[in-house]
Amino acid sequence: MLNVAVKAARAAGAIINRAALDVEAVRISQKQVNDFVTEVDHASEAAVIETLLGAYPDHAIWAEESGKTHGRQGSDHVWIIDPLDGTTNFIHGFPVYCVSIALAVRGKIEQAVIYDPTRNDLFTATKGRGAYMNERRMRVSKRTDLRQCLVSTGFPFRPGDNFNNYLRMMAEVMQRTAGLRRPGAAALDLAYVAAGFADGFFETGLSPWDTAAGSLLVTEAGGLIGNFTGESDFMEQKECVAGNPRIYGQLVQILGKYSKFASAGEKAALRQSTPSLVPPDTTPSAKVEADGTRISDATGDPAE
């Protein structure tokens, strides 16, 4: 099954690489504000589905673009597919994107493939058999001091996302780490945590196809993944944190109070402890203090 998934991922990667040669000719549509889909997403997804169902016609498909319309729905075997994670990067020619394929058997991820076509990097994992990058065994990093760690994340970009909450999280993590990165493809971020290139990762608003394959890579490489309160059942909860075991624990301590599952008391304390970090919609040239307080208007006169 893993070999079939690798074949499917490479087929999709070939389509993506051909399109990347003339990315300005790619047709783009918009699912919602800042959420794009291209003809390459659809062609890549079709290639993956054709390869998987050609080998396993009785399996079910759950794909980002076509949903649950292919395969035999109700099967114990469900392929979870993101045909092009990092579409916004792709349409700008920014070379950070990947194909993500996972197989869930009775709700548990058992096979995972993440393929980066720009670098020809192949990340694979089978439950209980370890995780590999280009056929070399991967392990999460060994750092234990968060101050020495590189942590990756994803910025909120959809209407309705809680920007203030995210800015508070980012401020807390930035002050405690060696660096915060936002590459723009969550599946690849998780693969990099598994490979030890990053020590941790957190993001909100993710879907199962963003995290399914990466979650198995992380755990098979010796890491942990869960929601912001540290619970392992995170796949459909739209909040995700991952890292090596020590760093994962430290990130959960920081991010737990921002979880949708945080207690009412924690949420109330959070609202009272920090003012809004997004300044009000005033004149563009208004001066604003770091805490969001407007100190003068466009003329330089003190604001009332």
Hey, what are 259's tokens?
Answer: 């979880």
Report whether 64 belongs to an annotated binding site: yes
Report whether 167 belongs to an annotated binding site: no
Hey, what are 4's tokens?
Answer: 């079939």
- In one-letter notation, the amino acid at residue 185 is A
Report whether 82 belongs to an annotated binding site: yes
Question: Is the distance from CB of 111 to CB of 127 less than 8 angstroms?
Answer: yes
Those residues whose C-beta lies under 8 Å from the C-beta of residue 167, and which sit 6 or more positions away, are 277, 278
CA dist 194 and 98 (Å) reads: 15
Locus of tokens 């065994």: 137
Report whether 135 belongs to an annotated binding site: no
Number of DSSP helices (H) and strands (E) in the chain, helices first: 8, 16
User: For the range 30-37, what are the long-range contacts, defined as Cβ-Cβ under 8 Å and sequence gap of 24 or more?
Assistant: 32/158, 32/159, 33/157, 33/158, 33/159, 34/88, 34/157, 34/158, 35/157, 35/158, 36/87, 36/88, 36/91, 37/65, 37/87
Q: What is the torsion angle, in degrees rounded to the nearest 10, for the CA atoms of residue 257, residue 250, residue 187 and residue 155?
A: 50
Query: In terms of DSSP bridges, do strands 108-116 and 98-105 run parallel, antiparallel, or are they unpaired?
Result: antiparallel
Binding-site positions read: 64, 82, 84-85, 210
- Binding site for Mg(2+), by residue number, is 64, 82, 84-85, 210
